[in-house]
Each structure stands twice: as C-alpha cells, then as structure tokens.
Amino acid sequence: MIKKDELITLLRKGLDMEEKGIPIYARHIDKIIFLSGLSQEDQEKIKSTLMTLKQDSEGHKIIFQELINKITESTRNVF
C-alpha cells in the first residue's frame, strides 16, 4: 500500500527519467557520422534500438503523466 503523495512523487520521478532519456536516445539517431565506423548490419541494429527506446519512452511519458493526473484528481488517499 502506498500513500497518494508518495505515489505521485515516484510517478513524477518516472516521468522525469523518461523525459531525460528521450534526448539521450535521440542524440545520435540521425547522425550518419556516429554510425559510420560500424558495419551496415550493426548500424541498422543500433539505429532501430535507439528508435524503439525513444518511441517507447515517449509512450511511457504519456502513461506517467496520465497516471499523475488521474491520481491527483482521485479522492483516495492510498493505492
């Protein structure tokens, strides 16, 4: 069981991590020079991984924000 305030704090921490992760994943996705030292196959693998991480983090950011909104509006004090 977790109190509302503590839950919101942890969800905000999750949101903050996702927000900070997105620019790190995106930093090199479209930089040809970043991947140029690798084989075509490895380039594709890295690019596809970074893209997945970025897209999923964007989705998680929305999930965390919606949960924060929902819990903030809730009349419950424990979850």
Partner 1 sequence: MFSKDDYKEYFQQIAGVERLMIYNVQDLLILLDDQELKYTLRNVASDESRHYGYIKEIFDSILFQDEAEKRRFIRIHSLGRVKIKIKGKDGFIEAYCVNISPGGICIESNQKINPQDTLELWVDFFNGREPGHHFGTLLWRAEIGADLQIESIRYQAGVRFNA
Say whether residue 23 binds partner 1 (CB under 8 A): no
Instruction: Tell me the C-alpha distance between 26 and 54, whole Å.
Output: 7
Q: At what angle do helices 40-73 and 4-26 cross, to 10 degrees?
A: 160
Say whether residue 26 binds partner 1 (CB under 8 A): no
Say whether residue 4 binds partner 1 (CB under 8 A): no
Among 5, 30, 62, 63, binds partner 1 (CB under 8 A): 63
Among 38, 62, 69, 72, binds partner 1 (CB under 8 A): 38
Give the single-character DSSP code of 29: T
The one-letter amino acid at 76: R
Among 8, 26, 56, 58, binds partner 1 (CB under 8 A): 56
Place of tokens 């690798």: 38
